[in-house]
Structure 1
């Protein structure tokens, strides 16, 4: 795949407290949906605004299809970057109909053809029957689809999505994610999504960059960043996990409080490890290894699965099992790993 967006050493500060965006390097490929995922205040929206041209970079550069858009000495105005933007609040013109909102930016199309083309784009987003309605006559999901139609109508090379699902209720969020992803894929457009929602990034994006304190800690597919986190922050931010220290002797196995456990790679010395709760299971305790017997402290029944809180050797572990593994509080159990533990780069 060819890289469409290239971000190099992108840096931005607003005051003397330090950079909000600190030396970001990443690429987005053609026909790829890429997500910047991180907590509030980590710099992801500032990065989006730098790419869009709403902010000026202190250092670094932004290129699309080899064309320089942003650097300390070069700045192309937002309207000339060939980028579509879907805002968090949709930012539709309240006095214009859905059709007029979409047609507004089609300045390269002859005036007498704009409404025809705008209606075609609205139909692609499932909003053709609502073309004459004003934004205040539309639901949140419908407004979002109109905003997306407006963003893709000029056929931009790239679309930026600034937390576009955050104003929707949980059920609508899920369905709209699927719809918007399908629309972008069918249109063959690359997109950059900014979100603080882990589930949203994992289900929507082809690749994810996990941000923390202005920096990118890891880039990879949803499966890579979830199952093979590189740092403690990534392991904890992407979902619940069990962290523990252990002494490795150069091989791919270690002795832990849970017994002998495989590692995802060879290691030597003191290491910090992570293992997801669903990569553990519970078995009824026997007297064979008394030092590995734990006690169920509590459990959370969720229908399709159960989360157990287990105390073992003065430590507490989380274990997710399917609903056929049944234990009660105070039961004696043995925690068994189903997958390898992952070694993390940091120990803080």
Structure 2
């Protein structure tokens, strides 16, 4: 089992009297792990990154890297002394330096006559060796990103921080760069902490995800865990489209709903809030169902390989995501059938 490289405990930061921007965060990043902090703009994820990197001082809490205290009420290690690499959202390359000089800039622990040689080796690993003599202004966004990554990993940091590094790229390049950067980090055996507001990015890039909301972490888990088994309403809705409904549980793992009997992901008793993803439902033609169990197709979104249906059932509207072989038209009568268990959400706080 991998040991923890970065440990964050009770990390808190306020900038004014409106309350903490980062509120008592607790999490770990393991060795050789890519960890993502996912949340909407303003939730505190970038501030957390700046606290870990040393660009901000924490009000409370502790940050440890490989056992060494970097941040605490008594300690503040300077950013350049933390052994952490940082890839900024705008890449922050030095415009007056060549690509090679940018990568060599932070190699202060290597003798001067060896720095450019080693920097060129790192550039070649990122596919940018042929661009070593160019200035950053002569590069595309994807090329600048590779140079920024090369500069961050060249000093062999224990941890690499990535602040929305793909947000300035177009959709097609963003997807390919995610794959390339993930592969580079894995081949180098480095741990990384990614901050992003993009759900698809976090799900496809990270080994584990911390979902943040209003300065707090609502859930930590693998991409599959946070998507298929969200703990809160916010996580369920932020990670993708979902159907929410209340039901009265009788102590077992099944409840009666307008869709018929539905399995739950755990035993429950009393009034519960449930979530079920649109792809965990399907549509069928009515046979002998009661009228109250028959819905009406309000509309559909055809996407080639799949279809999303909007269905009215009683006073509720449901999203149903099917493959392209399940064909219905607006105003068709349909029955919604669950394919998987519904997930019970925590409504406390």
Q: Which residue in the other structure is 1:73 paired with? A: 74
TM-superposed CA distance for 1:347, in Å, is: 6.7
Q: Which residue in the other structure is 1:219 paired with? A: 220
Structure 1 position 290 matched with structure 2 position 291: yes
Aligned-partner Cα distance in 1 for 2:348–2:290: 29
Q: TM-score, normalised by structure 2?
A: 0.99
Structure 1 position 115 matched with structure 2 position 116: yes
Q: TM-score, normalised by structure 1?
A: 0.99
CA RMSD, 1 decimal: 0.7
Aligned-partner Cα distance in 2 for 1:347–1:176: 39
Q: Which residue in the other structure is 2:145 paired with? A: 144
- Spell out structure 1 runs of 4+ moving beyond 3 A: none
Q: Secondary structure at the match of 2:169?
A: coil
Aligned-partner Cα distance in 2 for 1:164–1:86: 7
Q: Which residue in the other structure is 1:171 paired with? A: 172
Q: Secondary structure at the match of 1:309?
A: strand
Q: Which residue in the other structure is 2:235 paired with? A: 234
Aligned-partner Cα distance in 1 for 2:107–2:298: 62
Q: Secondary structure at the match of 1:288?
A: coil
The unaligned stretches of length 5 or more in structure 1 are none
The unaligned stretches of length 5 or more in structure 2 are none
Q: Which residue in the other structure is 1:202 paired with? A: 203
Structure 1 position 267 matched with structure 2 position 271: no
1:40-81 Cα distance to aligned partner (Å, 9 max, x none): 000000000000000000100000000000012110000000
Aligned-partner Cα distance in 2 for 1:54–1:107: 20
1:190-237 Cα distance to aligned partner (Å, 9 max, x none): 000000000000000000000000000000000000000000000000
Aligned-partner Cα distance in 1 for 2:324–2:35: 34
1:9-28 to structure 2, matched below 5 A, reads 9-28=10-29
Q: Which residue in the other structure is 1:159 paired with? A: 160
Aligned-partner Cα distance in 2 for 1:287–1:138: 65
Q: Which residue in the other structure is 1:93 paired with? A: 94
Q: Which residue in the other structure is 1:35 paired with? A: 36
Aligned-partner Cα distance in 1 for 2:317–2:108: 61
TM-superposed CA distance for 1:188, in Å, is: 0.3
TM-superposed CA distance for 1:263, in Å, is: 0.1
Does the 8 A contact of 1:5 with 1:64 survive in 2? yes
TM-superposed CA distance for 1:146, in Å, is: 0.1
Does the 8 A contact of 1:36 with 1:195 survive in 2? yes
Does the 8 A contact of 1:48 with 1:194 survive in 2? yes
Aligned-partner Cα distance in 2 for 1:288–1:64: 60
Aligned-partner Cα distance in 2 for 1:222–1:128: 34
Q: Which residue in the other structure is 2:191 paired with? A: 190
Structure 1 position 326 matched with structure 2 position 327: yes
Does the 8 A contact of 1:159 with 1:191 survive in 2? yes
Q: Secondary structure at the match of 1:120?
A: helix
- Report the number of matched residues: 348
Q: Secondary structure at the match of 1:26?
A: strand
Q: Which residue in the other structure is 1:50 paired with? A: 51
Does the 8 A contact of 1:271 with 1:347 survive in 2? no
